[in-house]
Amino acid sequence: MSDQSPYPLLETIDTPEQLRRLPTSELPKLAAELRRYLIHSVARTGGHLSAGLGTVELTIALHYVYDTPEDRLIWDVGHQSYPHKILTGRREQMATLRQRGGLSGFPKRSESPYDSFGTGHSSTSISAALGMAIAARREGSSRRIVAIIGDGAMTGGMAFEALNHAGHLKSNLLVILNDNEMSISPNVGGMHNYLARILSSKLYTTMRDGSKNVLSIAPPVWELARKAEEHMKGMVTPGTLFEELGFNYIGPIDGHDLDTLVTTLKNLRERDEPQFLHIVTRKGKGFPPAEKNPTCYHGVTAFDPETGAIYPRSAPPSYTHLFGEWICEIAEQDERLVGITPAMCEGSGLVEFSQRFPQRYFDVGIAEQHAVTLAAGMACDGLKPVVAIYSTFLQRAYDQLIHDVALQDLPVLFAIDRAGLVGPDGPTHAGSFDLSFLRCIPNLVIMAPADGNELRRMLYTGYLLDGPAAVRYPRGSGPEVPIDPEMKELPVGKGQLCREGRRVALLAFGSMVAPALQAAEELDASVVNMRFIKPLDAPLVLDMATHHELLVTIEENVIAGGAGSAVNECLHHHGVRIPVLNLGLPDRFVEQGRHDELLAQCGLDAAGIVEAVRNHLDQ
């Protein structure tokens, strides 16, 4: 190893076992090197930065104290896990992060034995950890289970369901709350760090358990002692809720103080009951641009690691941006409009709306079920809710979508972002299934725009309906088209013939219209922008079937149950027999990569469409 290396200590650590051989005095130096390495790695590839910078010390302490991978660490969500990846044999692979064939941006069981559970969606760690703790108990194993959950993920109801169950079962489990939304205030300092060491220590535990045994013969005295302890801890810690759920609460402590972290974790590892450790960290720690603006550097493209300047990328306005403009425009006209999002203000394009209409903006946290039923309640009493949500997160509110919105035929508009493949974020965030799981729901109108101008028209059309509607659109930008400042409603259930050709008709949905038009030039095919998945334009489908030898449906959704299936059902219902080729996403999870790479891999670019059609015609 060269003496000139900027990471002399980090480069000696390829496994946590090597980390555990270091004296504790070396850990702060390792933390500094790990933080620098993380900054320079993400600067090259892009990815999630702020959260990982806040968990450097915690990651080192966990792998230092726990016997990983035999002991299980579950990161919730995976945004925090980049330091974990670096310390678990994947340092040299960080240059491939979020690229095709490279490291995933999230923990992934197939990637490393140190990734105990895949966590691309939040609020799942405590449930998974409890399941592992139950399995360990049944095996008679002494392995320890730790769930590390961010304060954002704690807004998800599933986390509290799991806490309640874990406390009831008295499971051997440690939950670490990584609280990074507040600064390290004076009450998270020397006194609290000292109390954490005392309350987690073996001496305190022995005295506590011994007193419990002695006083249990006199229940009123024991209850008095229990309440005295609870009130004493309550005066200096905010953990009453977790104590009531059956956890022994410790904290809050400084999550950047390695000495306190290591000592506290060592104490907690020796205990066999539900433990809850509250640490306070700072997002973006050690990188001033990210500390100043952690949201900007939460998920970031390539940037200058010295200055933090994000390298510019020229592109037409994204669908997300156009949605944000549209909702502000309609809010100016209609005071009934309210915007709802489950913790995706920036990602869903609602920043300007939240600033201009703060009383009509509702970020409910990572609580998708609540977001949808909240909208239903608003719609019952005359408001016009617009729910801005990613396709992959709408999956988590499926019952509410059916039972609370569609069954009651309430006028809720769903603006579904990130529909289809999402490139570097990979299968955890891909919106591959929404057309399939939405299409079977009665009362719901479903639309997919071919470009940004059509997005605006569809949102407006859905907003004017007296029942539920969904507009699904992809990540990034569509074809460059002029944006009509005048809002025009679309006729519901009507498609558009874009090109007349021979033999073959390409029935394209949403983002697939552009590659279909390119393919049609080579095939001399007709192209239909179907616009509506439900209700389907049956007369147009039947007309295409009458005048062509082959119908080809193209969608950026799984083939099973998707838009192509709607066309198949339409033809069958009308007794029309014609060859149909359904093109869409395959029956497997599509891994990460650039969006154009993945479309080509799935045969959904122009060349893939041409090849599939010609192969079918040649059969």
Catalytic residues: 283, 368, 396
In contact, 174 and 268? CB cutoff 8 Å: yes
Strand pairing class (526-529; 496-499): antiparallel
In angstroms, the CA 47 to CA 297 distance is 9
Sheet holding 504-508, edge to edge: 496-499, 526-529, 504-508, 550-558, 580-585
Phi, psi of 272 (to 5 degrees): -120, 55
Phi, psi of 234 (to 5 degrees): -65, -25
Neighbouring CB atoms inside 10 A of 491's CB total: 10
Within a 13 Å sphere around the CA of 323, how many CA atoms are in the beta-carbon half?
35
Long-range contacts of 372-377 (CB under 8 A, 24+ apart): 372/397, 372/400, 372/401, 372/404, 372/405, 372/412, 373/400, 373/404, 374/340, 375/340, 375/405, 375/410, 375/412, 376/400, 376/404, 376/405, 376/408, 376/410, 376/412
Token code pair at residue 22: 């270091």
Polymer length in residues for the chain = 619
Neighbouring CB atoms inside 10 A of 150's CB total: 27
Strand pairing class (384-390; 248-254): unpaired
Give the per-residue SS3 of 176-219: EEEECCCCCCCCCCHHHHHHHHHHHCHHHHHHHHHHHHHHCCCH
